[in-house]
Structures are given as structure tokens and as C-alpha cells.
Amino acid sequence: MATAPKSPASSQSDVTIELKGKKALIVEDFFSFRNTIKKMVKSFGLTDIDEAADGKEAIARLSQKKYDIILCDYNLGPGKDGQQVLEEARHREYIDYSTVFIMATAENTMDMFMGAIEYEPDDYMVKPFTRETLERKLRDWVNKKENLKDIERAFAKKDYEKVITLCDGLISGNPKNLAQLFKLKGEALIRKGDYPEAATFYEKVLTMGNMPWAILNLGKIRYIIGDYDEAKAIFQGLIAENDKIVSAHDWLAKVHEKTGNTQEAQKILQDAVRISPKAILRQKALGDVAYKNKDLAVAEQSFKEAVKQGKHSFFKSASDYTSLAKVLVDKNEPQEGLSVLSEAGREFTDSTEAALQISVTEVLTLKKMNREEDAKKALDKVSKLTAKLPGKMSTDVELDLAKALISSGDEKTGNAIIRRLVQSNHEDLELISTVQNVYKDLNIGDKGQQIIAVAREEVITLNNNGVRLVKEGNFAEAIKLFDQAVDNLPDNKIINANAAQAFIVFMKKKGRNTDLLKKTKECLDRVNTIDPAYKNLRTLMTAYKDLSQEQ
């Protein structure tokens, strides 16, 4: 087992790795440090080296050029920090898994960034580091990443099957980036929707050591498949072992919210925010749950924090502002709410959806202030924006829009929006209860209840009829019914899944047909987009695959 003593010469066994042609970006706010690092990097043979003095400049550079190596200081003075640079660069796809991203830090211990693997830097380096250490790190990482190029391409094409095969091939050779390959394989299994297989995989990984990310992913899988008790136990265990793993708090809060325990969810998020306040998504989640709990003080503080952090974050959104405005209205400070909204208007000038969301909230605010004329003007703006909107609205915006319309007297349009939302999600009890609250707020709770009940009943009957027709063997009628149903309710996962099932059963009995195969695929794709963990989606997909490959 003994190996020869390692001298620096022999430890550079990766000399085959050529750093020369690589493109590097150095992000560091101190000029003298930046210069020192640049000199080091130059001495490794790199010639294409760019510099950035702060996060903003870094993003600008990254947007214009694809780098192989990024050396980024965590602490970049005011503005974005290194972590925010990483998050934004990944989201905008300026960098990918094969890019080497190394974060330089001032000391060993820092916040844990554990969540989706895309938010993790490849490595941390504690300052100061020697030239040799940096060279070694760069060579090691460039070498390690060499084998990720194919996996990267497969990931980009969403060919998870291939990602898994490629990972397996590499893992058997025990490469130095074993942990990263494990993470990628697990991620691919989850994205593919193969939850039992993914769980088995993480359990196997855990026999090699007690890695929190593997435990966290096990919990996530339990959450996705709706096994909330088990998910809760896993996240609680993780927190008991190491309460700095804030993502475990985030997930535990989600479990509590799903199971209706919003008070507990708020408490946990408040803990998490104490541990790691600099996380805009966490502040938003806390604001949302506190607002649900009618804890206006906490909601206000969280949304204010989200707005503040959003100034430098990729994750900023108009809803940070509109949520804050709603809280202020509820606190009887509508004037404050309006000024938050006008600030939002200045902040989001090039997004129709943002403008729409802001205007809708304006209508609601002005109504509360009894400024009917102004509310009317705002509503006109809303209709213009709605017509201009390129894509779909988010559910939250749609609900606010319905509320604004109904309160302005346009019950017909408002109720139609709600009807469609309910019919698209007729078994989503969380949404149904939110809708009920909208009607309650409008003081038409009873009427609303009736609208909701009728809308739901229609879908249930429709669905039941279709399922009955299939059972009776009346395929012609069943197919006609489902065909029409998915046309009317393309966002209803249950209708889509049952339609696909009817089509499949028919083709199994009577033989394939190209048109129906295409329709089946469309239904299944929609289910996969709406809810990849839908209960029998995998079975249906396999059945579809078998059918489409038949000779």
C-alpha cells in the first residue's frame, strides 16, 4: 500500500492537463490581491485572463464570454457577493457544470450553500494561498471537469437516461470527482422522476459516509412523493445534527406548510433567517407564510428585506414589492403601499408581467382607499397589459386580477378566471382554500363557495364519465370526451393523465394510430410539466414508450 514519497514534482502528475488555452476570470475587489492572483495565473501559462472588481462587473464579463475558470472572492464589498454572482451566472447559463468555479474566502468557516448543486462552487480556497496550491487546484479541477463535458450536453438535452449511463461509467473508475458524479446522477434520477430508484441510490451513497446533501435529497424525494411524515423526520434529523444546514429548515417549513401547519412553518423559517439572513428566497417564503398567518409585522419585515436584497440578486421579482404593498394595505397604510408600488414600477420597466402584477395590486390598493376614479384608471391599464401579455400569468397574479375585476364590478370576467383556475386544479385543496379566501375578502363568501362547488363538480363528473366509458369499452365516446376535455382544460393534470390512459388502453386493444400517439405524448408532457411526481405518470410513460416502439 505504501507509495513513494511524494515530492512536488511527482504530485503534479496531471501535467498532461494544459492550462494554457483556458480562459480565466478573476473577481476580486482589492486591486493588489487581484494583481497578485493574476500574476500567479499568468505563470501557469494562461494568457486569456480578464478581471472584475465587483459582482456587477463580473456578471457583465460573464455575459460576454464563456470562461473555463472563474476565481471569485466571496466578499466583494457593497453590491453582489460571490455567491450571488455564482447563482446569477448559473441561472443565466453563463457558466455550466464544466466551468471551474472556485470561491476564495477569508476564513475556513462560512455559510453553507447547500441546496441544488448548481448553487455550489466547485471548491473553496482560504486566503492567502500559495502559487503552488492554486496551480494544483486549477489543474485538479480542470482535469476533473474534463469528464463532465458529455454529461453536460446530455443534461442540457434533458436526456437524463444518458446522464445516468455516463455517470455510472465514470463512477466505476473511481475518479477524483466521485462526489460530484454522485450528485449529478442523483439529480438526473430525480429529474427523470424515478423517485424509488433515486432514494435507493442516495441510501447507497450514504453507506460511504454521512453526507448531508444525500440526506437532504432523500428528504426532498419523500416530500415530492407526498410522504410528509417521513420527510419531516429526515429534515428534523438533519437539523438536529447540524442546524447550520439552512436548506433543511427551508424544506421542513415546506412540509409544515403542505400539512397545514403554517404556524410551525413560520417559526422554522424565522430560525433559518436568523442563521442565514442573506437569502432572498427564504425571506420571501417567510413573508408569504407570515402573511397567511396574519402576522403582519413579520411579513412586512421579511418582504422589506427581500426588496432590499433583491437590489443585487437575480431572484428579485415584482411580487416582492406587491406582497409588501398588500401587507401595508392590511396594516392600514395604503399610502405607503402605493409608494412601494411606484418604486416597483421604476424597478421593472421591461416586463409586461411585472407591470401587470404591479397594476393589479394598484387597483386593489386604490379600492381600499376608496379612490374609485384612480382605481378605474389603473384597471384600464390592467386590461391593456393583459392583452399584451405574451405568456401565461402566474396563479397568484391571476387570483389578484380576478379579485380586482370583481371588486370593480366586472364579476363575469373575474368569476370566469376563478372558474378556470379551479377547474384546472380541482383537487388542489390549498388553491381551493385560497380562492375561498378571495371571495371572503370580497364579502361574497357564500356565493363564491357555490361558484367553486359548481366548477369542481363539473370537472369531477366529466372525468368520471370518461373513466366509466373506458371501463364499459365505449372507446369512441371516451376518446371524443377526453379529446375535448384536454382542449378545454389543458392545465388539469388529472384530465390529461386520464386522457392519456384512455388513448393507451384503446390503442392496446385496437392497435396504434399516429394521431392518437401524438395526442398521448402531448398529454403526458403536460402532466410532466405540471407535476412530474404525479402518481401513475411513470407507468403511463412506459406504456406509451412500449406502444410507440412497437413494430
DSSP three-state, residue 125:
strand
CA distances from 261 to 250, 258, 300 (A): 14, 7, 21
Report the residue number, 46 or 238, with the smaller CB distance to another protein: 238
What one-character-per-residue DSSP string does 271-302 give?
Answer: HHHHH----HHHHHHHHHHHHHTT-HHHHHHH
Q: Which burial class, exposed, middle or buried, applies to 31 when counting CB atoms under 10 A from its CB (0-12, 13-18, 19+)?
A: exposed
- Distance, in Å, from the CA atom of 282 to the CA atom of 387, rounded to the nearest integer, reads 33
Report the residue number, 132 or 472, with the smaller CB distance to another protein: 132
DSSP three-state, residue 315:
coil
**Residue 126: φ, ψ to 5°:** -85, 130
Least distance in angstroms from the C-beta of 273 to another protein: 14
Place of cell 386493444: 509
Report the residue number, 234 or 459, with the smaller CB distance to another protein: 234
Least distance in angstroms from the C-beta of 549 to another protein: 38
Report the residue number, 1 or 387, with the smaller CB distance to another protein: 1
Residue 88 contacts residue 59 (beta carbons within 8 Å): yes
Report the residue number, 243 or 430, with the smaller CB distance to another protein: 243
**Residue 106: φ, ψ to 5°:** -85, -25
Report the residue number, 133 or 332, with the smaller CB distance to another protein: 133
Q: What is the chain's Cα-based Rg?
A: 27
Report the residue number, 237 or 260, with the smaller CB distance to another protein: 237
Least distance in angstroms from the C-beta of 120 to another protein: 9
DSSP state of 54: S
Least distance in angstroms from the C-beta of 30 to another protein: 7
- Distance, in Å, from the CA atom of 211 to the CA atom of 494, rounded to the nearest integer, reads 37
Report the residue number, 2 or 387, with the smaller CB distance to another protein: 2
CB atoms within 10 A of CB 189: 24
Report the residue number, 205 or 478, with the smaller CB distance to another protein: 205
Contacts 24+ apart (CB under 8 A), 528-532: 528/193, 530/491, 530/493, 530/496, 531/493, 532/191, 532/193, 532/224
Least distance in angstroms from the C-beta of 118 to another protein: 16
Least distance in angstroms from the C-beta of 7 to another protein: 7
Q: Residues near 209 by Cβ (< 8 Å), separated by ≥ 6? A: none
Report the residue number, 217 or 423, with the smaller CB distance to another protein: 217
Least distance in angstroms from the C-beta of 195 to another protein: 23
Report the residue number, 101 or 182, with the smaller CB distance to another protein: 182
DSSP three-state, residue 361:
helix
Strand order in the sheet with 69-73: 48-52, 23-27, 69-73, 100-105, 123-126
Residue 315 contacts residue 281 (beta carbons within 8 Å): yes
Three-state secondary structure of 402-435: HHHHHHCCCHHHHHHHHHHHHHHCCCCHHHHHHH
Helix intervals (H) in 65-177: 82-91, 131-146, 149-156, 160-171
Least distance in angstroms from the C-beta of 49 to another protein: 17
Report the residue number, 10 or 513, with the smaller CB distance to another protein: 10
- Distance, in Å, from the CA atom of 452 to the CA atom of 291, rounded to the nearest integer, reads 24
Least distance in angstroms from the C-beta of 179 to another protein: 4
- Distance, in Å, from the CA atom of 285 to the CA atom of 403, rounded to the nearest integer, reads 22
Consecutive H or E run containing 24: strand 23-27
Report the residue number, 79 or 175, with the smaller CB distance to another protein: 175
Least distance in angstroms from the C-beta of 416 to another protein: 51
Residue 329 contacts residue 363 (beta carbons within 8 Å): no
Least distance in angstroms from the C-beta of 13 to another protein: 9
- Distance, in Å, from the CA atom of 440 to the CA atom of 424, rounded to the nearest integer, reads 21
Least distance in angstroms from the C-beta of 24 to another protein: 18
Least distance in angstroms from the C-beta of 42 to another protein: 12
Binding residues for another protein, rule: CB under 8 A, are: 1-3, 5-8, 11, 30, 32-33, 36, 39, 106-112, 114, 124, 126-128, 130-133, 136-137, 140, 174, 176, 178-179, 182, 205, 208-213, 241-242, 244
